[in-house]
Chain A
Amino acid sequence: QKEVEQDPGPLSVPEGAIVSLNCTYSNSAFQYFMWYRQYSRKGPELLMYTYSSGNKEDGRFTAQVDKSSKYISLFIRDSQPSDSATYLCASGGTSYGKLTFGQGTILTVHP
């Protein structure tokens, strides 16, 4: 079993929809969580960083962490075609410098 599980999709939504992306993790020692967006042939771009359970909002993005159920989510409001990318969740805090990634969810937002 992978330490971080993420549904690879693909996920296709119309422009303007609310997108929900989810990950589960098995290691209760994970302390912090990040969401990245990766366009084809580019490096991952950091979207959100969260350290505790609860919600964190930044513009159209909301990250949600529930440590009791080991569940992390990213919500994208008013999705745009430019949001079409692979979204990666990552967990860390168990060893120096190491992030454990989910497999990534491929998202397509069509006009």
Chain B
Amino acid sequence: KAGVTQTPRYLIKTRGQQVTLSCSPISGHRSVSWYQQTPGQGLQFLFEYFSETQRNKGNFPGRFSGRQFSNSRSEMNVSTLELGDSALYLCASRAQENTEAFFGQGTRLTVV
């Protein structure tokens, strides 16, 4: 059974640009959550999607957005990139609420 797949693995962008990251959850899982991981703040929740609907959002500015498609694949977008957006972005896949959450390998974004 394939795990959670995130693409691309690495990205280098310039300040002011925008970026789109992709996450394919485990087959049959309908919930996808996104997290930002930095050395200073640790893992912080960005948002969660279930059956194409955003059900929850963390305390991040509106430059961070996402969506989920009918096949449960999810994308997150960051517009007007800032140096502080450099981080490891992780997505987690779950079958339903209150079940195990499985993470992908992450996308390491560097903003220069």
Q: Which residues of A contact B (CB under 8 A)?
A: 31-32, 34, 36, 41-46, 49, 51, 88, 90, 92-93, 95-104
B interface residues, tally (CB under 8 Å): 29
Q: Does B13 contact A (CB under 8 A)?
A: no
Contact of B97 among A36, A49, A96, A102 (CB under 8 A): A96
Q: How far is the CB of B85 from chain A (nearest CB, A)?
A: 18
Contact string against A for B residues 47-61, beta-carbon threshold 8 Å, 1 for contact and 0 otherwise: 111100001101000
Interface residues of chain B, those whose CB is within 8 Å of chain A, are 4, 6, 31, 33, 35, 42-43, 45, 47-50, 55-56, 58, 90, 92, 94, 97-106, 108
Residue of A nearest to B40 (CB): A103
**Residues in A whose Cβ lies below 8 Å from that of B105:** 42-43
- CB pair B103–A43 under 8 Å, yes or no, is yes
> 11 interchain pairs (CB within 8 A)?
A42-B106, A43-B4, A43-B90, A90-B43, A93-B98, A97-B47, A97-B55, A97-B94, A98-B48, A99-B92, A104-B42
* Cα A88 to Cα B101 with chains together (Å): 13
**Given A97-B31, A98-B58, A46 and B102 contact (CB-CB distance below 8 Å):** yes
Complex-state Cα separation, A26 to B69, whole angstroms: 36
A46–B101 CB distance below 8 A: yes
A99 & B102 in contact (Cβ 8 Å cutoff): no
B residues near A98, Cβ cutoff 8 Å: 33, 45, 48, 56, 58
Please give, as numbers and ranges, the residues of chain B lying within 8 Å of A34 by CB-CB distance. Answer: 100-101
- Residues on B with C-beta less than 8 A from A43 are 4, 6, 90, 103-106
Q: Which residues of A contact B45 (CB under 8 A)?
A: 97-100
In the assembled complex, the Cα of A32 lies from the Cα of B97 at a distance in Å of: 11
Name the contact of A97 in the complex, choosing from B6, B33, B43, B102 (C-beta under 8 A).
B33
